[in-house]
């Protein structure tokens, strides 16, 4: 199999290729497996980029057999995959899927898993390399890690011999202390080089394109600093409400669910210095430096720099929808935030004085995520003489989803005898330019784990650093003792309070 020409394996990690292995999914019958993981593996198979010697084993408490697990996988792929099941290919593919019915607390189940792997791997030509995917609630991580070790399923990290790697889903903890505990548990059994903490935002094509755009082009980097940039807005807006995940979300809220991980990672790739090498540790060192420079928001400042809110009743897709507190599984007096907006600073030479505005929320008017870099106003001379109607500043927008691409807003002369300036957009769209569907984030990330490339995964110190920053905000909320949360009607852009973060210099949240 030639991998060099495939776009999925080209680029950031093209020196590394996926190794033959078994992928064991704990929580193999759960929502994440059905919606994301099994479809991702299938798409990789369709693209011919999986290692030739490869198999998948689902492990969970559901009473599946190999046969019924294959049917479950097919159903998930039919419903959620970006490409439908190809019947000509399926019969051959499904043989690589098998299942172990077991309980996480039962040592015998892990022995059965081991026996199953030992039995099937020779048939697939897999030399004992194993990737364990923990698609399970965080409360079970410690149990499963210990069971893996007790069952003799963990090989030490060594250059030779079969490898064991573990993929850990978010949330890793719910504050700094609990995250450190999870990481300590992992470290007792695995070497850091074996641990892949996944943040699916880093697998998105458009997020990787930020690296390429910044460091693969000459024109942006000279402007990428406080001399030219007025501020940066990072928005991750969701149209959906809490859906069926109230059990998890009630304990999390928008700050833990989206800011601690996805949004801070977007901030890191936007603000980091140019790494001196494209290797996992160098890139991650440079991203960590951003987190270390983030000015802590503590005590009373939390109220000044952070706005939280909850959606009330309103509209979505043109129909009435209930407020958060009326959603199934949500406490009627819940104070869980479904929206958060933050004004923060990266205190280093490059960014001194440039505010970064972060916002995310559920039940906003649409699903739209972007990073908008707003440049400074032109001087108030020549074309910009009217302070009542200043010229629109240049904005570079990196669209993460949907309509993946980027746009640069510039001022152009309106045709006609007078000099009138009108903002126009230079727009690049992935869809129209490349004409291909981008792979899903999980596809890229699974392939990277098989290749042993940790560039797009969270290192332990970064998890600590981001939780340290977020935990200050959580503490500030707790100390304020306030149980009042502003409400925004579902289907609107959040609470009025968020506007107050943006009062200086004609700044305003963008309407997406
Ligand atoms: C998950 C959050 O990590 O990301 C969800 O737990 C959120 O609450 C989701 O909906 C958003 O991901 P995406 O890829 O749909 O933007």
In short, whether 257's Cβ falls inside 6 Å of ligand 1 is yes
In short, whether 94's Cβ falls inside 6 Å of ligand 1 is no
Please state, in angstroms and rounded to a whole number, the distance separating the CA atoms of residues 361 and 403.
19
Q: What is the 3-state secondary structure (H, E, C) of 224-254?
A: CCCCCEEEEEEEEECCCCCCCCHHHHHHHHH
Q: Which of 235, 238, 259 to mutate to test the pocket of ligand 1 (most atoms within 8 A of CB)?
A: 238
For ligand 1, atom 14, which residue shows the shortest CA distance? Answer: 201
Residue holding tokens 């977007």?
Answer: 266
| 173 Cα to the center of ligand 1, angstroms | 17
**pLDDT(11) > 80:** no
For ligand 1, atom 2, which residue shows the shortest CA distance? Answer: 257
For residues 495 and 339, the answer to whether their CB atoms sit within 8 Å is: yes
Position 16 scores a pLDDT of 67
What's the Cα-to-Cα distance from 367 to each of 362, 402, 491, rounded to whole Å?
9, 7, 11
Q: Any bridge partners for residue 98, and if so which?
A: 57
Position 124 scores a pLDDT of 95
Residue 31: enclosing H or E segment and its boundaries? helix 31-32
Q: Any bridge partners for residue 319, and if so which?
A: 316
**262 Cα nearest atom in ligand 1:** 3
- 265 token code pair: 């990672």
Rg of the chain on CA atoms, in Å: 24
- Among 89, 262, 317, 377, the active-site one is 262
**238 Cα nearest atom in ligand 1:** 10
Cβ count near 372 (within 10 Å): 20
Domain architecture of the chain: domains with CATH: 7-169 (3.40.50.720), 202-438+460-506 (3.30.360.10)
In short, whether 238's Cβ falls inside 6 Å of ligand 1 is yes
In short, whether 448's Cβ falls inside 6 Å of ligand 1 is no
Q: Which of 258, 360, 439 to mutate to test the pocket of ligand 1 (most atoms within 8 A of CB)?
A: 258
| 382 Cα to the center of ligand 1, angstroms | 46
| 16 Cα to the center of ligand 1, angstroms | 28
| 359 Cα to the center of ligand 1, angstroms | 14
Mean pLDDT score across all residues of the chain: 93
For ligand 1, atom 4, which residue shows the shortest CA distance? Answer: 258
| Each residue's pLDDT tens digit, 376-412 | 999 888 888 888 888 999 999 999 989 889 999 999 9
Mean pLDDT calculated for residue range 13-30: 85
In short, whether 404's Cβ falls inside 6 Å of ligand 1 is no
Ordered alpha helix ranges (H), 195-337: 205-215, 246-254, 264-271, 280-293, 301-305
In short, whether 55's Cβ falls inside 6 Å of ligand 1 is no
**401 Cα nearest atom in ligand 1:** 16
3-state secondary structure of 138: helix
Query: Catalytic: 200?
Result: no
Please state, in angstroms and rounded to a whole number, the distance separating the CA atoms of residues 2 and 492.
49
| Each residue's pLDDT tens digit, 229-242 | 999 999 999 999 99
Q: Which of 72-86, 364-378, 420-434, 447-461 has the lowest mean pLDDT?
A: 420-434
For ligand 1, atom 10, which residue shows the shortest CA distance? Answer: 238
Report the first-to-last Cα separation within the chain, whole angstroms. Answer: 43
**pLDDT(323) > 70:** yes
Ordered alpha helix ranges (H), 81-175: 87-94, 107-124, 141-150
For ligand 1, atom 6, which residue shows the shortest CA distance? Answer: 257
**pLDDT(361) > 60:** yes
What's the Cα-to-Cα distance from 435 to each of 213, 371, 429, rounded to whole Å?
19, 23, 9
**204 Cα nearest atom in ligand 1:** 14
Q: Which of 234, 242, 257, 458 to mutate to test the pocket of ligand 1 (most atoms within 8 A of CB)?
A: 257
For residues 40 and 442, the answer to whether their CB atoms sit within 8 Å is: yes
Mean pLDDT calculated for residue range 363-371: 96
Mean pLDDT calculated for residue range 204-213: 92
Position 216 scores a pLDDT of 94
Q: What is the reported pTM?
A: 0.94
Position 138 scores a pLDDT of 86
Mean pLDDT calculated for residue range 134-139: 91
In short, whether 121's Cβ falls inside 6 Å of ligand 1 is no
For ligand 1, atom 13, which residue shows the shortest CA distance? Answer: 201
What letter would DSSP give residue 439? P
CA angle centred on 260, ends 348 and 497, rounded to 5°:
85
| Nearest residue to 109 via CA among 24, 37, 225 | 24
Torsion region of 444: left, alpha or beta (phi above 0 gives left; psi -120 to 50 gives alpha): alpha
- 480 token code pair: 């304020």
Mean pLDDT calculated for residue range 93-106: 96
Predicted confidence band at 482 (pLDDT cuts at 50, 70, 90)? Answer: confident
Predicted confidence band at 4 (pLDDT cuts at 50, 70, 90)? Answer: very low
| 15 Cα to the center of ligand 1, angstroms | 30
**pLDDT(12) > 70:** no
| Each residue's pLDDT tens digit, 325-349 | 999 999 999 999 999 999 999 999 9
| 257 Cα to the center of ligand 1, angstroms | 8
**245 Cα nearest atom in ligand 1:** 8
| 182 Cα to the center of ligand 1, angstroms | 22
């Amino acid at each position: 199999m030639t991998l060099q020409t495939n776009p999925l394996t080209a680029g950031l990690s093209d020196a590394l290729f996926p190794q033959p292995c078994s992928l064991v999914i704990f929580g193999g019958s759960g929502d994440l497996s059905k919606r994301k993981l099994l479809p991702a593996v299938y798409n990789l198979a369709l693209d011919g980029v999986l290692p030739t010697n490869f198999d998948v084993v689902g492990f969970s408490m559901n009473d599946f057999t190999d046969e019924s697990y294959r049917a479950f996988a097919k159903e998930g792929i039919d419903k959620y995959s970006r490409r439908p099941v190809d019947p000509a290919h399926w019969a051959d593919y499904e043989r690589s899927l098998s299942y172990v019915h077991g309980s996480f607390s039962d040592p015998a189940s892990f022995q059965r898993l081991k026996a199953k792997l030992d039995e099937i791997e020779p048939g697939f030509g897999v030399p004992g390399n194993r990737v364990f995917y923990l698609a399970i609630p965080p409360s079970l991580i410690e149990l499963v890690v210990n069971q893996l070790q007790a069952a003799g399923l963990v090989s030490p990290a060594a250059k030779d011999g079969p490898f064991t790697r573990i993929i850990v889903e978010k949330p890793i903890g719910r504050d700094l202390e609990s995250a450190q505990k999870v990481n300590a548990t992992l470290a007792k059994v695995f070497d850091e080089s074996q641990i892949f903490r996944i943040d699916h935002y880093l697998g998105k094509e458009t997020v990787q394109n930020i690296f390429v755009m910044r460091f693969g082009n000459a024109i942006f980097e000279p402007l990428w600093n406080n001399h030219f940039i007025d501020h940066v807005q990072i928005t991750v807006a969701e149209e959906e409400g809490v859906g069926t995940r109230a059990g998890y979300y009630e304990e999390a809220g928008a700050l833990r669910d989206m800011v601690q991980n996805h949004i801070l990672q977007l901030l890191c790739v936007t603000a980091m210095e140019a790494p001196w090498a494209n290797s996992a540790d160098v890139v991650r060192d440079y991203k960590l430096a951003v987190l270390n420079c983030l000015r802590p928001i503590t005590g009373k400042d939390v109220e000044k720099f952070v706005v939280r809110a909850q959606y009330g009743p309103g509209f979505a897709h043109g129909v009435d929808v209930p407020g958060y507190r009326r959603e199934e599984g949500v406490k009627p007096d819940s104070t869980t935030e479904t929206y958060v907006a933050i004004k923060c600073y990266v205190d280093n030479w490059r960014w001194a004085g440039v505010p970064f505005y972060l916002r995310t929320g559920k039940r906003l008017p649409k699903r739209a995520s972007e990073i908008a870099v707003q440049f400074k106003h032109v001087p108030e001379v020549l074309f910009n003489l009217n302070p009542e109607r200043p010229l629109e500043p240049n904005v570079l927008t990196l669209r993460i989803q949907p309509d993946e691409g980027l746009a640069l807003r510039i001022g152009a002369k309106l045709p006609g005898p007078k000099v009138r300036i009108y903002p126009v957009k230079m727009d690049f769209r992935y869809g129209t330019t490349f004409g291909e569907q981008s792979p899903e984030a999980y596809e890229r990330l699974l392939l990277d784990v098989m290749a042993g490339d940790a560039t797009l995964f969270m290192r332990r110190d970064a998890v600590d650093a981001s939780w340290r920053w977020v935990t200050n905000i959580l503490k500030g909320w707790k100390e304020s003792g306030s149980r009042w949360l502003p409400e925004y009607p579902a289907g609107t852009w959040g609470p009025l309070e968020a506007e107050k973060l943006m009062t200086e210099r004609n700044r305003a949240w963008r309407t997406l």
